[in-house]
Amino acid sequence: MAGSVAEIARSPEAGAGGAFRDRYGEWALVAGASEGLGASFAECLAKRGLDLVLIARRESLLDNLAARLRDRYGVEVRPIAMDLARPDLADALSAATADLDLGVIVYNAAFVPVGRFVDADADALERTVDVNVRAPVVMLHALLPGLERRGRGAVILMSSLAGLQGTPRVAAYAATKAFNTILAEGLWQELREQGIDVIACCAGAIETPGYRRSGKGRVPGMLDPDAVARRTLDALGKGPRVVPGLVNRLVAVLLTCLLPRKTAIRLMARNTGDMG
């Protein structure tokens, strides 16, 4: 444990950990936490002193992550293997968190069917809506009343640069990311007077295990997942939307402010044309 303590002491988050916990609460829930960005959010929150509820479908990955975070940071971790598309999601979440001072909710889970929309399997498209749209709505509706009662908290909804305009070959996924951005922006205004910070993270390419498995090479603006998680947490309370990385912020301005809509869509098509 001596090495773990030294590592925590060196981390930039260590000094602000107590303040972060005091501001938002003792526990954080991360949905889609088994690897990649979700695991990075879990680690960044553990560094800041929060205990964790980790949700994903792959139980072995969750258990391994939970053991590592307990050992490294001395936090309490509850791994819960759960399909976020389950019909009784609200009841399951309420039961899992009823005894906790839940302060931070991170919705990172996503389902991404790749290819032409008309060729996609209907079940895959429905799952995209269930995981990317229905589940965050159900989760927030079930858990936000507890944050309001405590008068503090934070919500992070993971979105994407793909959701800033139509994106061919991931059209359904991009549409769900647009939904999450707009949902976060509306909740940012609704909940700020209740002491709850809400933000949508519109990320560009992230070097996750899933991205590496796709076989695609690095692209301009790509960030590692730890950087995305850290910058997103640091942006809480500063506005309804964050785009991590200078290159990605420039791309967001180009797509939404400088280019005609049809040109922005065609530009994204060139980036996604070899997917699937």
Domain of residue 162, CATH code:
3.40.50.720
Decide: helix, strand or coil at residue 31. Answer: strand
Q: Which residues are annotated as catalytic?
A: 173
Predicted confidence (pLDDT) at residue 115 exceeds the cutoff of 90: yes
Q: What is the mean pLDDT of the chain?
A: 92
Query: C-alpha angle 4/69/61, rounded to 5°?
Result: 135
Q: Quick: pLDDT tens for 227-260.
A: 999 999 999 999 999 999 999 999 999 999 999 9
pLDDT of residue 220: 87
Residue found by looking up tokens 């991205």 in the block: 211
CA separation for the pair 211, 233 (Å, rounded): 22
Task: Compute the average pLDDT of residues 216-224.
Answer: 85
CA separation for the pair 209, 36 (Å, rounded): 6
Predicted confidence (pLDDT) at residue 11 exceeds the cutoff of 50: no
In DSSP terms, 52 is beta-bridged to: 28, 77
Q: Quick: pLDDT tens for 140-196.
A: 999 999 999 999 999 999 999 999 999 999 999 999 999 999 999 999 999 999 999
Residue 119, domain extent: 2-272
Task: Compute the average pLDDT of residues 96-104.
Answer: 96
pLDDT of residue 214: 61
Number of structural domains in the chain: 1
In DSSP terms, 156 is beta-bridged to: 106, 199
